[in-house]
Amino acid sequence: MADTRVASGLTVEQWDSQFFTEYLTENRFEGEMGTDENKIIQVKENLTKKPGDRVNFALVNKLTNNAITGSATLEGNEEDMASRSCEVAVNKRRNGVRVAEIDEQFSAISLREAGKAVLKDWAKKDTETLIIKALGRVGGIEMNATDIAAGANQTALDAWLVDNADRVYWGNNAYTANTDFSAGLATLTNATATERLTAANISAIKFKAMTLANPRIRPVREEANGRYYYTMYAHPLAFRDLKADTVITQAQREVSLEMENSRLFKGGDLLWDGVIIKEIPEMYGINTLTNLGDSSTSTVVPCFLAGAQAVGVAYAKRWRSVEETFDYGDKKGIAIDSIYGVEKLTFGSGASDRDDLKDNGVATLFVSVSATT
Secondary structure (DSSP) of 18-55: HHHHHHHHTSTTGGGEESSTTSSEEEE-GGGSS--SEE
| CA distance linking residue 149 with residue 153, whole number of Å | 8
Segment holding 89, helix H or strand E: strand 83-89
Residue 357's contacts (CB-CB under 8 Å, 6 or more residues apart) are: 160, 163, 346, 347, 348, 349
pLDDT, position 71: 78
Residue 346's contacts (CB-CB under 8 Å, 6 or more residues apart) are: 86, 357, 358, 359, 360
pLDDT, position 341: 95
pLDDT, position 8: 41
pLDDT, position 16: 87
| CA distance linking residue 64 with residue 102, whole number of Å | 70
Handedness of CA 114, 120, 122, 123 (dihedral sign): positive
Whole-model pTM: value is 0.87
Among 121, 92, 21, smallest CA distance to 340 is for 92
On the 0-12 / 13-18 / 19+ scale of CB atoms within 10 A, 128 is middle
Helix (H, G, I), strand (E, B), or coil: what is residue 282?
A: coil
pLDDT, position 3: 41
* Mean pLDDT for back-to-back runs of 10 residues, the chain (373 residues): 43 83 88 90 81 72 69 70 74 87 58 80 95 96 97 97 97 97 97 97 98 93 82 98 92 67 71 94 96 94 97 92 84 89 87 77 97 89
pLDDT, position 187: 97
Q: Letter for the amino acid at 63? A: L
Instruction: Please answer whether residues 279 and 234 qualify as being in contact, where contact means their C-beta atoms are separated by less than 8 angstroms.
Output: yes
pLDDT, position 324: 86
Segment holding 181, helix H or strand E: helix 181-186
| CA distance linking residue 189 with residue 185, whole number of Å | 9
